[in-house]
Amino acid sequence: MDDPNLVARTDVSAPPQRESQKEPQGERVWPAGRLEAMPIRKLPDAPPSIHLLGPTVFLVALGVGMGEAYMWPRLVLLFGPDIRWLFLIGVTLQAVVMLEMARYAMATGESIFFGAARVFKPIMWFFFIVAMAVYIWPGHLSAGAAALERITGIPWTVSACVGLILVGVLFSLAKVIYNLLENLLSILIGLLVVSTAIVAAMVGTWQDLVSTVTGMFQFGYLPADALSATWFPVIVGSIAFAGPSGMQQMWYTLHLRDSGAGMGAHIPKVRGLRHAGKEEQMPSRGFMFDTSDPAEMAKWKGWRRWVTFDALLLFWGITMLVTVSFTVLAQAANRESPNVKALIEAGEREAALNGMSDAFASAGGPVLGAVFLGFIALIGLNATLGLFDSFSRGQADMAYHFVPGAKRFRMSHLYAGFLWGVITFGIIILLWGPADGPGAILDVLAFLSTFAMGAYCVVLLLVNNRMLPKPIRPKLVTNIIIGLGAVFYLGMLFYSLVRFGVVVD
């Protein structure tokens, strides 16, 4: 089979003009906000819209996590499949957010953080601080490593610490980190999808699937228990975890740029520490294409088709597939072993995951129990790889452009600094501290993570409607959806806080 994207990548890997080349006197620029104006450059040709390989793999790796494997199957067992209409809304909203994140990144080659700084610098610093507060804790490693411990017997702190060091070494040795990670995650996600389909095919039934799928269209269904102080915060957390959560969508703009999508082709790629010396000079801002040129606008439409395919089939489709499959598995386990519901209802996450594994084992033999734990370990590995890269990429981007004096370093050096910083901190905390963060601030971290999602919807509205030229701004319908997204996330978060005094769970 052809890899149409390969051709396009070859094209965009050699952009027509780089920052190091001299800019002609009096060149045209696009002024956006109070920061440096963007010079006009050529937009590369778009790849064919039908493709499989691309930056969406990062979003899928980050997004298909505990929400899909654990939180939503859990809610289905507790409230029935009809509760899944909330998941449909959550993931569909995330697909629109993804398209809007891509709009700014592909049009400018800048991250959404840079876009936020163009609107108002403190907004960007808010995200810088939230990332530091929320994502330095290694708690996300615990579920996957604990599942690995159940399969192999290796203590989870050992595998987590070894995994952290391996990730650091791997990223430091890589020539171009994006290429290495895209290859690795593509294989891992491919295995996850294929294996999920195989297992779902072997243990699920037509009735499970029908009830799971039709449950997604029972709009408005909310049982009385769901609105209790115990369960409403859990539902809010589950909606926030439907697809990518926290700042993951914002980091996607950096992966899009490094993949060479749109005007990202004019920005050098981040290299591993060992090859940092080969990195080209990073420009101090992004670029804009000539939106008054019909030929350029035709190319832009091609890029929008390309990312729309990513959002609908790869992101939406795979997220739905994995969560539907896990829900089918949970229903099969519950049918065979009714005590699974009590286990899941009562347990905290690790206990409930083990309970689900035991239930699967009793429903479909020990194979199914191990398969479930294997999936959890695989999901944990994907998320860890994606998260460490994304965190370091985002912080390095903001630091490079906005911390005075940071431009003395290369972007790759800053990336390595944040990467090894978070790894060292992670190992210290895994060995001697609370993995999820100090108990006293857990609520604050959960609040910030969900708040960031409402906040980036507002940022998207501001950035895409004020910083981009009119011909490529979002349409009214898109703005309404993103606006509703902000109301959805922030509204539920504050309702939960005011009504029940609990943030999210």
| Residue 89 vs 367, nearer CB to another protein | 367
How far is it, in rounded angstroms, from Cα 369 to Cα 356? 8
Contact residue for another protein among 14, 154, 166, 194 (CB under 8 A): 194
**Tokens encoding 478:** 């898109």
Closest approach of another protein to the CB of residue 201, in Å? 4
Binding of another protein at residue 342 (CB under 8 A)?
A: no
Closest approach of another protein to the CB of residue 207, in Å? 8
How far is it, in rounded angstroms, from Cα 238 to Cα 89? 12
How far is it, in rounded angstroms, from Cα 194 to Cα 209? 17
How far is it, in rounded angstroms, from Cα 380 to Cα 384? 6
Binding of another protein at residue 153 (CB under 8 A)?
A: no
Contact residue for another protein among 159, 196, 392, 449 (CB under 8 A): 196
Q: The tokens 């190319």 sit on which residue?
A: 299
How far is it, in rounded angstroms, from Cα 393 to Cα 271? 11
Please name the residue ranges forming H helices in 403-441: 411-432
Closest approach of another protein to the CB of residue 366, in Å? 4
**How many Å separate Cα 470 from the centre of its chain?**
28
Q: The tokens 């033999």 sit on which residue?
A: 365
Contact residue for another protein among 129, 202, 298, 346 (CB under 8 A): 202
| Residue 305 vs 473, nearer CB to another protein | 305
- Give how many residues touch another protein by CB under 8 A: 47
Contact residue for another protein among 41, 42, 51, 257 (CB under 8 A): 51
Single out the residue of 391, 375, 350 nearest to residue 246, CA to CA. 391
Contact residue for another protein among 204, 243, 394, 437 (CB under 8 A): 204
CA–CA distance from 251 to each of 65, 201, 428 (Å)? 16, 34, 26
Q: What is the footprint of another protein within residues 258-317 (CB under 8 A)?
A: 313-314, 317
Closest approach of another protein to the CB of residue 13, in Å? 14
How far is it, in rounded angstroms, from Cα 71 to Cα 36? 44
Contact residue for another protein among 277, 366, 438, 491 (CB under 8 A): 366
Closest approach of another protein to the CB of residue 200, in Å? 5
Put residue 80 in one of left, alpha, beta given phi > 0 → left and psi -120 to 50 → alpha: left
| Residue 318 vs 472, nearer CB to another protein | 318
Closest approach of another protein to the CB of residue 328, in Å? 9
Binding of another protein at residue 362 (CB under 8 A)?
A: no
Closest approach of another protein to the CB of residue 51, in Å? 8
How far is it, in rounded angstroms, from Cα 109 to Cα 267? 7
Contact residue for another protein among 3, 158, 281, 466 (CB under 8 A): 3
Binding of another protein at residue 180 (CB under 8 A)?
A: no
Closest approach of another protein to the CB of residue 152, in Å? 9
Closest approach of another protein to the CB of residue 318, in Å? 6
**How many Å separate Cα 150 from the centre of its chain?**
27
Give the SS3 label for residue 203: helix
CA–CA distance from 52 to each of 59, 182, 190 (Å)? 14, 12, 11
> Are 326 and 69 spatial neighbours (Cβ–Cβ below 8 Å)?
yes
How far is it, in rounded angstroms, from Cα 59 to Cα 388? 13
How far is it, in rounded angstroms, from Cα 504 to Cα 444? 10
Closest approach of another protein to the CB of residue 306, in Å? 13
| Residue 1 vs 498, nearer CB to another protein | 1
Interacting span for another protein (CB under 8 A) from 46-54, 64-72, 432-440, 481-489: 46-54
Binding of another protein at residue 52 (CB under 8 A)?
A: yes
Binding mask 318-337 for another protein (x = CB under 8 A): x--x--xx------------
Single out the residue of 419, 485, 378, 488 nearest to residue 65, CA to CA. 378
Interacting span for another protein (CB under 8 A) from 3-11, 104-112, 381-389, 482-490: 3-11
Pairing of strands 38-39, 29-30: antiparallel
Residues in touch with another protein (CB under 8 A): 1-4, 6, 48, 50-53, 151, 183, 186-187, 189-202, 204-207, 209, 313-314, 317-318, 321, 324-325, 365-367, 369-371, 374
